[in-house]
Amino acid sequence: MKDKTVWQWEISPNRPWYRLNLKELIQYKDLLLRFVRRDILASYQQTILGPIWVFLQPLFTTFVYFIIFSRVAKIPTDGIPPFLFYLPGSIIWSYYADCVTTTMNTFQYNAYIFNKVYFPRIIVPLSTILFHSFRISIQLLLFTGVYIFYSLHGTVLQFSWQILLAPFMIGIAACFALGCGLIVSVLTAKYRDLDNIMLFLLRLFMFAAPVVYPASLIPQKYKFIFWLNPLTPVIEIFRTSFFKPHPLPLFYLSLSLLTTMLVLVIGIILFNKREIQIMDVI
């Protein structure tokens, strides 16, 4: 007689590499939201200024960039007021770097949970991405306020229809950060000293994106390599859509999207394939 029992959980010794368990993620959506809420509440507890740091962090960073790269190094900003030029690049870059940093420590920071109860492990890095997405949405309101302030005080600024692509640009940065973080998390869980190496490489990687300089400064022979970075179209399209409208670089945007999806798929597959074995070495 054929057994028709339907099991709620099924434990198997091997998991196919292509099994992403999307249905299971939907079942645990409440847990995902609880993790996001936990991160939001824990981030600003026992702090003097609390949520105000969401605004102060990009402002302080932009001010430092303004002093070093505008006043000292005198790097041109294509006619855009320097503070306004650095602010969106700083916000988007900080979003990417924060997402990668928190995601790559998924196993180290959550081993005490992973060893006690079962749930889809990828929920944890997804919750960090959503948490930082919540932060960047508030910081972009700050950028909008500064943008309006400059407009009201006589600075001639232009924006185009490409401003509607801003959420899509942030989505590309989020997916790229998630993919990079998942790949690195598998490595740092086994080799702890990779944390310092990755943080150093992440700082260097900032200069491969147009955060503190415009894309127009890149020599023509290096432009293709420069635009291979998925963050380059994200920052450039976001910035130009608010200041100086340019034709949409569809080829480089498509290349950025393709690279991002490739990194994300590799990260998810590697994470799902190694998550069980990694718990034995933490």
Assigned domain for 171 exists: yes
Rounded mean pLDDT of 233-250? Answer: 85
- Give the pLDDT confidence score for residue 158 in this predicted structure: 76
Q: Is residue 3 part of a domain?
A: no
What residues have CB less than 8 Å from 106, skipping those under 6 apart?
A: 121, 124, 125, 128, 181, 182, 185, 189
* In the predicted structure, residue 9 carries a pLDDT above the cut 60: no
Inside any domain, residue 11 = no
Residue 199 lies in a domain: yes
Mean pLDDT of 164-187: 92
User: Would you state the pLDDT for residue 47?
Assistant: 64
Total domains, the chain? 1
Instruction: Give the domain extent around 142.
Output: 22-35+50-278
With a cut of 90, say whether residue 100 has pLDDT above it: yes
Whether residue 140 is contained in a domain is answered as yes
Please name which of 157, 184, 7 lies closest in space to residue 87, comparing C-alpha atoms.
Answer: 157
Task: Confirm whether 40 is domain-assigned.
Answer: no
User: What's the pLDDT band for 21 if we cut at 50, 70, 90?
Assistant: low
Quote the pTM value.
0.89
Cα gap 121→119, rounded to integer Å: 6
20: pLDDT strictly greater than 70: no
Q: What mean pLDDT comes out for the span 155-169? A: 82
Domain contains 84: yes
- Reply yes or no on whether the pLDDT at 26 is more than 70: yes
